[in-house]
C-alpha cells in the first residue's frame, strides 16, 4: 500500500506543473503503450485525456484513457474527416495499434496522447497504394523490366543449348559417331577403300560392299566440306582412311528418294569402271535430326555439266568423254536400270578425263 500511495503522491505532484503542456495522465497513457503498468495502480490514478470529437452527440469533445485519433478517408470520391477518442483496450497491439494504421489513398490516421491533439488536418493522399504515385514511365519500367529479363534469359538459354549441340555435332564430325579406331575389328587395318572396292569387284556380286561393312565405313567418315546441293539434299566431300569419298546427305523427309537410289546402286552386277562407284548407304543421327547417307566415289571435277562449263575440251578429250559415257550407258542398258534427272548432271568426270 505504501508503494501505491507513493506513486499516487508523485503524480499528484506532477499534476501541479506543466511538462511541455502534458498532464501526468497523458504521460502515463503514452508510457503504458510500451510498458505495461501493474493493474493494481489504475484504481488510484484518474486518467482523463481530453480530445476533439466530431462523432459525439451534443458535444464536440470526449474523454478517454487511451488516445486521441484523427482520420481522413475517401468514400465515393468525397473526403470524410473524423476526430474522436479510442480507449486503452483498443490500442492493440502495443506500440503499433491497428486503429492508428493508415491506408495510403484510402485512409490517413493520426493517433496522439495530449489534450486536444487531434485537431490536425490530414490529407488522404493521391493514390490507392504504393504504386499509385508512379507515373507512366515508372509503370512501363516496372512491367517491361521483368519481361525483358525473362526474354533475355530465354535467348541466352537457347543460344547455350544451340552452342552445346553444335560442339557435340562438330566433335562427332571429327571423331565419327562411332569410334574409328574400332573399325579394324571388321576391316583389315591396312585396307584402303579402293582395296575393298577392288576385292569386291573381282570376287563379289558387283552390288557394293556388304551391309555390315557399309555401316562401318559410313559411320567412320569425317565430313570435310560441302561440294554441291541438289533437290534432295547436300553433297559433301568426306575422308575415310586418308581417301576422299563423296557423301550425299538426304533429309529424313526424302527417305523414299534415298531408299530408291540406294536400291538402284546395290543392284547386282552394277559396278563398272564407267559408272559412279557406290560404297555405302546408312542413316546417322547428328544430334538434331536423322540424316540419310549415300557414299560414293569422289571425283574432284564434279559433274560433266560443271566440267564443260569450266574447261575447254580437246578433240581427244571429247572422244574419251564420249567413249566412257557410252560404255557406262551400255552397261546400264544391259539390265532394266535407271536414274533420276538429266544424264549430264549424273555423269561424273574423274582424273582420267
Domain boundaries, the chain: 2-132, 134-175, 180-298, 303-353
Q: Could you tell me the sign of the dihedral formed by the alpha carbons of 325, 331, 336, 340, in that order?
A: negative
Q: What pairs with residue 112 in β-bridges?
A: 68
Averaged over 155-164, what is the pLDDT? Answer: 88
Give the pLDDT of residue 18.
37
Cβ contacts of 11 within 8 Å, gap of 6 or more:
24, 28, 45
301-310 pLDDT, tens digit per residue, is: 888 888 888 8
What is the value of pTM for the model shown? Answer: 0.40
- Taking a C-beta distance cutoff of 8 angstroms, is the pair 111, 68 a contact? yes
Averaged over 330-342, what is the pLDDT? Answer: 61
Averaged over 54-78, what is the pLDDT? Answer: 88
HSE toward the beta carbon, residue 254, CA cutoff 13 A? 17
80-138 pLDDT, tens digit per residue, is: 889 999 998 888 888 788 888 887 666 788 899 889 999 888 877 543 344 444 557 76
pLDDT at 44 over 50: no
Per cent of the chain over pLDDT 70 is 61
By C-alpha distance, which of 352, 247, 238 is closest to 295?
247
Q: Which residue has the higher pLDDT, 338 or 279?
A: 279
Q: Could you tell me the sign of the dihedral formed by the alpha carbons of 201, 205, 206, 212, in that order?
A: negative
Helix (H, G, I), strand (E, B) or coil at 29: helix
Topology match between the domains 2-132 and 180-298: no
C-alpha cell belonging to residue 274:
564407267
Averaged over 164-180, what is the pLDDT? Answer: 57
205-223 pLDDT, tens digit per residue, is: 444 555 555 666 677 888 8
HSE toward the beta carbon, residue 48, CA cutoff 13 A? 5
pLDDT at 339 over 80: no
By C-alpha distance, which of 118, 101, 142, 126 is closest to 49?
118
C-alpha cell belonging to residue 340:
533420276
Point out the annotated binding site for ATP.
Answer: 248
Q: Could you tell me the sign of the dihedral formed by the alpha carbons of 216, 219, 222, 224, in that order?
A: positive
Q: Could you tell me the sign of the dihedral formed by the alpha carbons of 179, 181, 184, 187, in that order?
A: positive
C-alpha cell belonging to residue 266:
546395290
Cβ contacts of 27 within 8 Å, gap of 6 or more:
14, 19
Helix (H, G, I), strand (E, B) or coil at 68: strand
Segment holding 84, helix H or strand E = strand 78-86
- Domain 180-298: CATH superfamily is Phosphorylase Kinase; domain 1 (3.30.200.20)
Question: Average model confidence (pLDDT) for the chain?
Answer: 72
**Of 8-17, 31-40, 273-282, 340-349, which one has max mean pLDDT?**
273-282
pLDDT tier at 184, thresholds 50, 70, 90: very low
**CATH fit for domain 2-132, picks 3.40.50.300, 3.30.450.70, 2.10.60.10, 2.102.10.10:** 2.10.60.10
As a whole number of angstroms, the distance between CA 213 and CA 279 comes to 9
As a whole number of angstroms, the distance between CA 126 and CA 133 comes to 7
As a whole number of angstroms, the distance between CA 206 and CA 184 comes to 23
Give the pLDDT of residue 155.
94
Number of Cβ atoms within 10 Å of the Cβ of 187: 19
pLDDT tier at 258, thresholds 50, 70, 90: confident
pLDDT at 33 over 70: no
Q: Which residue has the higher pLDDT, 80 or 12?
A: 80
Averaged over 228-234, what is the pLDDT? Answer: 82
What does 185-221 look like in DSSP terms, one character per residue? GTS-TT--HHHHHHHHHHHS-SS-S-HHHHHHHHTT-
Point out the annotated binding site.
Answer: 248
Segment holding 317, helix H or strand E = helix 315-332
Pick the range with the lowest mean pLDDT from 95-104, 229-238, 264-273: 264-273
pLDDT at 53 over 70: yes
- CB-based burial, 13-45: b 16+ in 10 Å, e otherwise: ebeeeeeeebbbbbbbbeebbeeeeeeeeeeeb
Averaged over 319-328, what is the pLDDT? Answer: 88
Amino acid at each position: 500500500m505504501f508503494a501505491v500511495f507513493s506513486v499516487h503522491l508523485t503524480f499528484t505532484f506532477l499534476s501541479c506543473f506543466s511538462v511541455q503542456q502534458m498532464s501526468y495522465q497523458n504521460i502515463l497513457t503514452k508510457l503504458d503503450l510500451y510498458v505495461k503498468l501493474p493493474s493494481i495502480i489504475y484504481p488510484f490514478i484518474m486518467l482523463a485525456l481530453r480530445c476533439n470529437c466530431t462523432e459525439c452527440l451534443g458535444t464536440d469533445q470526449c474523454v478517454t484513457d487511451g488516445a486521441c485519433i484523427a482520420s481522413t478517408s475517401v468514400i465515393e470520391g468525397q473526403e470524410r474527416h473524423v476526430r474522436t477518442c479510442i480507449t486503452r483496450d483498443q490500442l492493440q497491439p502495443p506500440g503499433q495499434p491497428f486503429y492508428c494504421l493508415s491506408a495510403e489513398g484510402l485512409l490517413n490516421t493520426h493517433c496522439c496522447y495530449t489534450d486536444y491533439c487531434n485537431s490536425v488536418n490530414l490529407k488522404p493522399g493521391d493514390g490507392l497504394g504504393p504504386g499509385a504515385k508512379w507515373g507512366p514511365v515508372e509503370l512501363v519500367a516496372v512491367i517491361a523490366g521483368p519481361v525483358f529479363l525473362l526474354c533475355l534469359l530465354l535467348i541466352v538459354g537457347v543460344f547455350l543449348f544451340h552452342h552445346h549441340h553444335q560442339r557435340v555435332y562438330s566433335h562427332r564430325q571429327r571423331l565419327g559417331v562411332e569410334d574409328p579406331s574400332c573399325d579394324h575389328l571388321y576391316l583389315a587395318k591396312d585396307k584402303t577403300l579402293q582395296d575393298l572396292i577392288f576385292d569386291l569387284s573381282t570376287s563379289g556380286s558387283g552390288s557394293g560392299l556388304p551391309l555390315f561393312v557399309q555401316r562401318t565405313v559410313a559411320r567412320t567418315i569425317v565430313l570435310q566440306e560441302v561440294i554441291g546441293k541438289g533437290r534432295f539434299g547436300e553433297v559433301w566431300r568426306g575422308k575415310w582412311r586418308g581417301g576422299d569419298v563423296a557423301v550425299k546427305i538426304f533429309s529424313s523427309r526424302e527417305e523414299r528418294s534415298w531408299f530408291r537410289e540406294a536400291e538402284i546402286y546395290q543392284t547386282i552386277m552394277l559396278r563398272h569402271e564407267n559408272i559412279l562407284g557406290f560404297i555405302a548407304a546408312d542413316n546417322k543421327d547428328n544430334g538434331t535430326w536423322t540424316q540419310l547417307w549415300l557414299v560414293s566415289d569422289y571425283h574432284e571435277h564434279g559433274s560433266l555439266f560443271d566440267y564443260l562449263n569450266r574447261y575447254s575440251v580437246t578433240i581427244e578429250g571429247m572422244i574419251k568423254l564420249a567413249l566412257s559415257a557410252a560404255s557406262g550407258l551400255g552397261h546400264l542398258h544391259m539390265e532394266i536400270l535407271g536414274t533420276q534427272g538429266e544424264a549430264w548432271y549424273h555423269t561424273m568426270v574423274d582424273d582420267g578425263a
